[in-house]
Structure 1
Amino acid sequence: MRFNCVNENGTTWSGEIKKYKEYGSHYHLEISAKGSGISLYFGSASMGQWFVCMPDWNASVIIGELRNVSYNAEKIGNAMNNEIDGHSVAKALYVFAESKDIQEKDSTQEFLDILHNAGFNRVDE
Structure 2
Amino acid sequence: MCYPPRLEVSPQPFITSSHEEFSPMQRERRGASISNCPSMDVQSSLSEYTLTVQLPDHIKHEMVTVSVLKGSKLKVIADAWHMETECHYEWVINFPPHDIDMGGVHAQLDPSGLLAIDVRRRPRYHV
* TM-score bracket for this pair, using the shorter chain length: 0.3 to 0.5
TM-score (norm 2): 0.32
TM-score, structure 1 length as denominator? 0.33
Q: Please identify which structure carries the higher strand content.
A: 2
Between Structure 1 and Structure 2, the one with more helix by share is 1
